[in-house]
Chains A and B, each alone.
Chain A
C-alpha cells in the first residue's frame, strides 16, 4: 500500500524530472512570444497561439506532438498537407481591398521589387552552406508572408518549418521596427517630403469583380505551382467584390480565418520543441530572415527612388517599402514616416496599393521559384 502511494507520488514529479534545459529555454521563448503578443500587441492573433503552442510542446511527457497527440493532429492535417496556409489566403482575399492598386496599376512593380530580398537571401544561405532546398525555404521568409513561407517550407524543407515560420511571423510583427531606419538611410529629406496626388475615382465595380479572375488566370498560367495560394487569395477577393455570397465572405474573413489562424498558430508553436529547435542553425535562419526582410525594404525603396526619378519627382520613394506582403503594417509604416517630414502628406492609399501589390508579388515570386525548381527537376 505504502509502495503504491510512493509510486503515485513519484508520478506527479515525472514531468519535472524529465524537464531538460532546452525545454526550459523554449518555454521561456514561448513566454517571450506571449509577452510580445499580449503586452506589446505585436501580431497577437499569431504570437499568442504560437507562444502557447511552444510552451505546450515543451512540457515533458505531455505528448502533444507524439503520434496521436493533439497538436500533431493539427500539424499533420493542416501544415503538412498545406491546407491551413491556403485557407488563410481565402480569408486574406476576403479582407483585402485592391482598389488603391487598381487606381494606379504601375505601383504593382513595387510589389515585385519588394520580393528581391527572397532571392538575394537564397544565394546568401547557399553561401553559408545550406543546401538548395533549405536555402529556398530560408529565402522565402523574405516574402514577409507567413502562409507562403509555410507553404514553400513544408514542401521543400519540413525540418525547418519551426524556425522559418517563427521568423516569418515574428518579423512581420516587427516591420514597424525594421523598416523605418532603412527607409531613412536610403532617402533624402526632399524625397521623403514628396506629396503624391490622389487620382480621380477610376475603378468600376465590374473591374473589381474581373480583377481576381484575370489575376488568377494570368499569374497561374505563368507560375502554375503558385496556383493553390493565388487561387485561394483571389477566390476570397472575388467573393467579397461580387457581393453575391455575403455569407461565404463573412465566414471567410471571420470564422474560417479565425479558426485556421488559431490552429495554424498552435501547429507552428508545436514545431518549437527544444531538442529540435535549439541549434546554431536556427539562429542562422532567424538572422537570414531578418536580412531577407531588410533587403526587401532596401530593394523596394531603391525601386521607389527609380520611379521617383522616372516620374520627375511625382512618386514618394518611401512607398517602395510597402511593396512587401505584411499587410497593412508596411503601408501604415510608410504613412507614419511620410507624415513625420510633411504633416500634410497622406501616403496611405498609395502605400496600400504597393502593399497589396506586395501580397500578389510574394505569391508570384514563390510560385515562380517553385515552378523553376520543378522545371529543373528539383521540385
Chain B
C-alpha cells in the first residue's frame, strides 16, 4: 500500500480569511448596534433578526454544500468530498442551533411564548435533528468508505427538509414573520442594508469555519493512515 506522509498545511490565505471574518462581523455589529434604528413596534429586540436570519440562510447554504458534495462523492468516490460534507454539516448544525436559540428569545419578547409548534419552527427543529443524526451516524462507522457512502446518501435525502422549511410560511398558516416576499424585502432600506451586511459577515465566517474544519479533518485522515501503517507493520 502507498502512503502519503506529507503533513497537511493550512491554506495560504487562512489568516486573511480569519481577519476578513473578524472585520466583516465587527462591521455588521457596528451597523446593528450603532447605525440602524430600532423597529417602531418591537423596539431593540428587533435587532435579533439580523444574525437570526443570517444564521438561517447560512444553515441552508451549509446543508446545500453537504448535498452537492455528497453527490460529488457518490460520483467520484473521492474522500475529499466526504470531508467537505462532514465539516459543512457540522457548521450547518452550529448555525441551526443559533437559529433555534435566538428564535425563542425573540419569540418570548414578541409573542410572549418561548416556543409554539408553528410549521416554520417545527420544520427547523426537524432540520436540526436530521443533521445531528447525520453527524451521529458518521461516528457509528469505522470503515471510511462505508461511512462516506452512507453519509452521502443521508446528506442528499436530508436536504429535502430545507425547501420545506423555506416554503413552510407560504404553504401553511403561520405566525412567523416573512421578510422576503415576491415584492422584495418587507423592511426599511436601512434594515435591509444591515441584514445584507450581516449575511455577508456570516458567509465569510462560514468559509473560515469550513476551511479550519477541513484542515482538522485532513490531519485526522493523516493520523488514521499512519495508525493503519503501524498496525500493518506490527502484524
State whether these chains interact: no
